[in-house]
Structure formats: structure tokens, C-alpha cells
């Protein structure tokens, strides 16, 4: 009896006991669908995080004070430092801007908004990359003149004024001990990020003002607490950042004191990549365990099936079935059951991960490779867990088998 005939015999046997076959498949279905779901969500999640970093700026870096080391006033970065950085690293820097942020509140027409007032220079939009929908961004003369102007978020414009075109309006920001009155000269639309897609609490809206204005209002003097930069795309980000930090340390004569901290999206990405990789591996292992359990289920049912069909095996042997005919029949049965379970489980897994990824807005990561691997796995489970029962069936002695009630 060849494989095709065995398949026919096996399918007939599976079909004639549909309930039992379905219950057997259930373990494989659940196992495969959880493996596929975890896999594709993991891939999609990593792609989404990658996109986040893309929109954040892959070559984006931050250099600022490490407050936990108690810097003295002589340690604090100043404007001369920024000029030095711009000169020395002119080839590597695409845009550079000092930044000072203070939290506050804007009240207007009985509406309250929590805001972050961020003092930056005219290059900052080449770093943060927001789309200007009305008016303009900050310009060099704003900074030179320390004008009291602001660029605000489009949703804030609509919340406070009910419309987008709010150029020329004034807003008053109340911070802890200062009130600032600002003239709106531009409106920007914030990039949609993963955080807002998750539907968590909205972070405070940003209000961008000239850094010189912030320094004037908050009395910062020559102090720069943090520098944002966007480097050219072909540089070794971490190496450049280390060199910059070294230069600042030399200028302030505090090498080795860890007074300054730096941050690059690149190293962050690596860390996140490692962490998600570990999480993915752990969860995949758990899912794989459920697949093993499913396989054990197949084996158990096949063993029961063999016992139940002892008489049948005896009859088949009596009319001429050889050992390998019986072995092949039961093995093919196990493989078909787990193969079908694999197909159904794959369909479920893809369906579930599509549903979840449309809910939390990450791209689905289904690939033909994943599907093929899952299917081969389920067939492999069928072979591995089906061999023992199939062999048991094949070795039955015909006379005893026929006598079995």
C-alpha cells in the first residue's frame, strides 16, 4: 500500500470519527495559533518600534547635565560650548539646538491645557520635525531679538480657539512662578506616535518659544541645561557623541566625573531591540510548550485510537496488511490530523494577530516564511508523536488482535 492509499485510508478513518479527530486537532490548533500570534505580533511590534525611532530620528542625540552627580556652577554648559561644538563638528552635525523646557498651564475661554514650554532655536524643527500647518516656525531674528512669540500644537489651537488659524492670537502660559504672554506666529501638527495610538493619557502639548526668550523669562543667564542635535546619517553616532562629551569635559576641566549625560536613539534602539528580543523568545518558548502539549495530545488520542481499533488492525492483518501498511496508515493519520490542525491554527493565528494589530495600530508581521515554518512544525509534531502509537499498532499479533473485544 503506497502513501496515496494510506492517505485515503487515513482520511476515511479520520472522517468516520469526526468528533475525536477534531478534539485531537484542538491541541495543535491552539499551539500553532499561539506561536503564530506571538511571532507575528513580535515582528510587527519590532517594526512599529523601528518606525517610532525612524520618526524620532535615527541620528538624533541629546547632550545635557547629569544632575545626580551634583554639578557645580562651573560645570554647567554655556553658549560658548555650543559655538565650539558647532565649529569643531560642523561636518558631523546636521542641526543643533539648546533646549530648556518648563511645565505650565494655558487657560483660555474656560479651557485648560497642560503644556510644556520649550525654549529652542530656529534649527530645532530640523531635529524634532513637526509639520507646520499655519504660519511659520521660529526664525533666527526671533532668537536674536528674544521675541515673545510661540508656535503651538494644532489640537491645542482647536481646543482653545475652536479653529486652526490662530495667528496673531495671544496666549498666557502660567508656570510655577512666572506668567508669560506669547503671540502665536505658527501652528504645527504633531507626529502620530505609538504612544498616542495606544490610547494612553495624552502627554502635555508643546509650546515652542525662542531659547533666548526662555532664558530671559526664567533668568537662565549663560546656562544651557541640554543640547539636542541631529547628526548626519553616515556618522558613527556613539563615537561622535563621546568625542563631543569629551570636548565639553575638557573645556570645563571635569574629565572622568560623569557630569554630563548623553543619549542617542541608536543605543536606545539597541537596548530596546535586545529587550524585545528576550521577551519575544520567552513568550515564543511558552507558545512552543503549548505546541508540545498539543503533540502529546495527538499521541494520547492515537494510542487510544490504536487500542479501540485493535480488532480492526487484526482484521486488516488477517486479510494481508503487512506491518509497514499498518504503521504507514496510523502515521499518516497522525500527520494529517496535526497537519490540518496546523493549517487551521495558522489561519486562526493570522486572524488573531491581524485583529490585535489593527486594534493597537502596529503593522502585521505575517510572512510566508512564518507560515511555512509553522506548518512544517505541525507536520513534524505529527510524525514525532505519531510514531510510537503507529508502531504499537503495527506490532500487534493478528490472532490476539482478533480476539480483542
Q: Judged by CB under 8 A, which stretch of 81-89, 191-199, 309-317, 360-368 contacts other proteins?
A: 309-317
* Residues within window 320-379 making contact with other proteins, judged by CB under 8 A: 320-325
User: What's the chain's length in residues?
Assistant: 405
Q: Judged by CB under 8 A, which stretch of 2-10, 104-112, 143-151, 220-228 contacts other proteins?
A: 2-10
184 Cβ contact list (under 8 Å, min separation 6)? 135, 149, 150, 151, 152, 157, 166, 167, 168, 169, 170, 171
Indicate whether 189 belongs to the interface with other proteins (CB under 8 A). no
- Least CB distance to other proteins at residue 347 (A): 29
Indicate whether 5 belongs to the interface with other proteins (CB under 8 A). yes
Indicate whether 17 belongs to the interface with other proteins (CB under 8 A). yes
Q: Judged by CB under 8 A, which stretch of 24-32, 269-277, 280-288, 307-315 contacts other proteins?
A: 307-315
Is the CB of 43 or the CB of 316 nearer to other proteins? 316
The set of cell numbers assigned to 347 is 489561519
The set of cell numbers assigned to 282 is 520567552
Indicate whether 399 belongs to the interface with other proteins (CB under 8 A). yes
236 Cβ contact list (under 8 Å, min separation 6)? none
- Least CB distance to other proteins at residue 25 (A): 19
Binding mask 312-331 for other proteins (x = CB under 8 A): x-xxxxxxxxxxxx------
Contact 262, 247 (CB under 8 A): no
- Least CB distance to other proteins at residue 5 (A): 6
Q: How many residues bind other proteins (CB under 8 A)?
A: 24
- Least CB distance to other proteins at residue 324 (A): 8
Is the CB of 315 or the CB of 356 nearer to other proteins? 315
How many angstroms separate the Cα of 90 from the Cα of each of 86, 87, 211, 232, 239? 5, 5, 21, 10, 15
Is the CB of 23 or the CB of 293 nearer to other proteins? 23
Indicate whether 19 belongs to the interface with other proteins (CB under 8 A). no
* Residues within window 102-121 making contact with other proteins, judged by CB under 8 A: none
Q: For the chain, how far is it from start to end, CA to CA, in angstroms? A: 27
Is the CB of 205 or the CB of 316 nearer to other proteins? 316
- Least CB distance to other proteins at residue 299 (A): 23
Indicate whether 18 belongs to the interface with other proteins (CB under 8 A). no
Cα dihedral 350, 352, 355, 361 sign = negative
Contact 213, 121 (CB under 8 A): no
Q: Is 83 exposed, middle or buried (0-12, 13-18, 19+ CB in 10 A)?
A: exposed
Binding mask 255-294 for other proteins (x = CB under 8 A): ----------------------------------------
Is the CB of 195 or the CB of 318 nearer to other proteins? 318
Can you tell me the distance from the alpha carbon of 381 to that of 293, in angstroms, rounded to the nearest whole number? 10
Is the CB of 2 or the CB of 73 nearer to other proteins? 2
- Least CB distance to other proteins at residue 280 (A): 45
Is the CB of 143 or the CB of 321 nearer to other proteins? 321
Is the CB of 10 or the CB of 85 nearer to other proteins? 10
- Least CB distance to other proteins at residue 311 (A): 7
- Least CB distance to other proteins at residue 402 (A): 7
Binding stretches for other proteins (CB under 8 A) = 1-2, 5, 9, 12, 16-17, 311-312, 314-325, 398-399, 402
Amino acid at each position: 500500500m503506497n502513501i496515496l492509499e494510506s492517505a485515503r485510508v487515513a482520511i476515511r478513518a479520520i472522517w468516520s470519527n469526526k468528533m475525536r479527530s477534531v478534539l485531537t486537532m484542538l491541541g495543535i490548533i491552539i499551539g500553532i495559533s499561539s506561536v503564530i500570534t506571538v511571532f507575528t505580533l513580535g515582528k510587527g511590534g519590532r517594526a512599529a518600534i523601528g518606525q517610532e525611532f525612524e520618526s524620532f530620528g535615527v541620528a538624533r542625540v541629546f547632550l545635557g547635565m547629569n544632575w545626580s552627580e551634583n554639578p557645580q556652577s562651573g560645570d554647567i554648559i554655556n553658549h560658548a560650548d555650543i559655538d565650539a561644538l558647532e565649529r569643531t563638528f560642523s561636518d558631523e552635525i546636521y542641526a543643533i539646538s539648546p533646549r530648556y523646557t518648563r511645565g505650565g498651564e494655558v487657560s483660555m475661554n474656560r479651557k485648560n491645557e497642560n503644556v510644556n514650554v520649550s525654549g529652542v532655536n530656529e534649527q530645532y524643527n530640523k531635529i524634532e520635525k513637526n509639520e507646520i500647518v499655519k504660519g511659520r516656525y521660529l526664525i533666527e531674528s526671533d532668537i536674536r531679538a528674544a521675541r515673545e512669540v510661540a508656535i503651538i500644537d494644532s489640537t491645542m489651537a482647536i481646543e482653545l480657539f475652536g479653529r486652526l488659524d490662530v495667528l496673531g492670537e495671544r496666549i498666557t502660559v502660567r508656570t510655577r512662578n512666572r506668567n508669560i504672554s506669547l503671540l502665536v506666529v505658527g501652528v504645527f501638527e504633531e507626529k502620530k506616535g505609538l504612544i498616542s495610538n495606544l490610547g494612553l493619557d495624552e502627554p502635555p502639548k508643546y509650546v515652542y518659544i525662542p531659547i533666548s526668550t526662555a532664558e530671559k523669562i526664567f533668568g537662565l543667564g549663560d546656562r544651557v541645561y541640554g543640547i539636542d542635535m541631529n547628526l548626519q546619517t553616515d556618522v558613527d553616532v556613539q563615537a561622535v557623541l563621546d568625542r563631543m562629551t569629551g570636548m565639553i569635559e575638557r573645556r570645563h576641566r571635569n574629565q572622568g566625573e560623569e557630569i554630563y549625560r548623553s543619549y542617542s536613539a541608536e543605543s536606545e534602539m539597541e537596548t530596546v531591540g535586545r529587550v524585545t528580543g528576550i521577551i519575544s523568545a520567552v513568550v515564543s518558548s511558552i507558545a512552543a510548550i503549548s505546541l508540545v502539549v498539543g503533540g502529546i495530545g495527538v499521541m494520547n488520542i492515537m494510542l487510544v485510537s490504536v487500542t479501540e481499533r485493535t480488532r480492526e488492525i487484526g482484521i486488516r492483518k488477517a486479510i494481508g496488511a503487512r506491518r509497514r501498511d499498518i504503521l504507514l496508515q496510523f502515521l499518516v493519520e497522525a500527520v494529517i490530523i496535526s497537519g490540518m490542525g496546523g493549517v487551521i491554527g495558522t489561519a486562526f493565528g493570522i486572524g488573531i494577530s491581524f485583529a490585535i494589530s489593527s486594534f493597537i495600530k502596529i503593522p502585521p508581521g505575517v510572512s510566508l516564511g512564518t507560515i511555512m515554518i509553522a506548518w512544517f512544525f505541525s507536520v513534524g509534531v505529527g510524525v514525532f508523536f505519531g510514531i510510537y502509537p503507529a508502531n504499537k499498532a503495527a506490532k500487534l499479533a493478528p490472532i490476539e488482535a482478533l480476539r480483542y473485544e
